[in-house]
A and B are shown apart, each in its own frame.
Chain A
Amino acid sequence: AQSVTQPDIHITVSEGASLELRCNYSYGATPYLFWYVQSPGQGLQLLLKYFSGDTLVQGIKGFEAEFKRSQSSFNLRKPSVHWSDAAEYFCAVRSAGGSYIPTFGRGTSLIVHP
């Protein structure tokens, strides 16, 4: 069965600092990987996704993520965090074939200090 682990429940960074949110997945075949963001009081919005090709993917709001098959990871990065990036971030995985039911991580809450 597929699973997703986000090892950090909370991350605190200063505005302008760089950010990396970790995501590790467990899945036997080629996964499709997603990062979603949930701003306070909002639903989830897709930041970026990986399904094939270049392992470094660019998303909205200046975010990027790198797929590393050898490490089963799909970490989210941003070079300079803005106060408006404070939100909950979810990593998700689904299979490339067969069932398209996604599995979500438990989320990482990002706190941004001025």
Chain B
Amino acid sequence: EAQVTQNPRYLITVTGKKLTVTCSQNMNHEYMSWYRQDPGLGLRQIYYSMNVEVTDKGDVPEGYKVSRKEKRNFPLILESPSPNQTSLYFCASSRGRQGGSYEQYFGPGTRLTVT
């Protein structure tokens, strides 16, 4: 089954304790992205990757890191989480060929609470 998986689904942590949210897709997609969703603000892009070893900042990258060492995986790293990073996080992937109409496939979300 084609899918995007995220782990963990729920996470409660404390300020400053490094964490990683994993994202994996089995569709051989070039393009992967991380979003955060907050009430009234919709989806805001954190980072994206157009292919292996190619990443770039989205709209709200501060406090986050990503890496793309393999095509299927795109982990999101919070080196020193703060309470303002409490949010619902989504990973997404799509085929990346320019000019294609390719839609994004989303993971189920990770709800992060930083106390």
Interface residues of A (CB under 8 A from B): 9, 32, 34, 36, 41-46, 49, 51-52, 90, 92, 96-102, 104-107
Closest to A46 in B: B103
| Chain A neighbourhood of B99, CB < 8 A | 96-97
Q: Is the CB of A97 within 8 A of B98?
A: yes
Nearest CB in chain B to that of A34: its residue: B103
Q: Can you name the residue of chain B whose Cβ is closest to the Cβ of A106? A: B42
Does A51 lie within 8 Å of B43, measured CB to CB? no
Question: What number of residue pairs across chains A and B have CB atoms under 8 A from each other?
Answer: 53
B92 vs chain A, min Cβ distance (A): 8
Partner-A contacts on B (CB < 8 A)? 4, 31, 33, 35, 40-43, 45, 48, 90, 92, 94, 96-104, 106-109
Task: Please determine whether B98 and A100 come into contact, CB atoms closer than 8 angstroms.
Answer: yes
Q: Contact: B100 with A100, CB < 8 Å?
A: yes
With both beta carbons as reference points, the residue of chain A lying nearest to B45 in the complex is identified as A101
Which residues from chain A contact B98 at a C-beta distance below 8 Å? 97-100
Complex contacts, A45 vs chain B, CB 8 Å: 106
Contact A100 B102 (CB under 8 A): yes
Knowing A34-B103, A96-B99, A97-B98, the reply to whether A104 touches B108 (Cβ < 8 A) is no
Q: Which of B101, B102, B108 contacts A43 (CB 8 A)?
A: B108
With A101-B48, A104-B42, A107-B42 as contacts: A42 and B96 at CB distance below 8 Å: no
| Contact call A43/B106, Cβ cutoff below 8 A | yes
Measured CA separation A98–B33 after assembly (Å): 17
Q: How far is the CA of A107 from the CA of B37 in the complex (A)?
A: 10
Could you pull out 17 A-B pairs where Cβ atoms are within 8 angstroms?
A32-B101, A43-B106, A43-B108, A43-B109, A45-B106, A90-B42, A92-B104, A97-B98, A99-B98, A100-B31, A100-B96, A100-B97, A101-B33, A101-B45, A101-B48, A105-B42, A106-B42
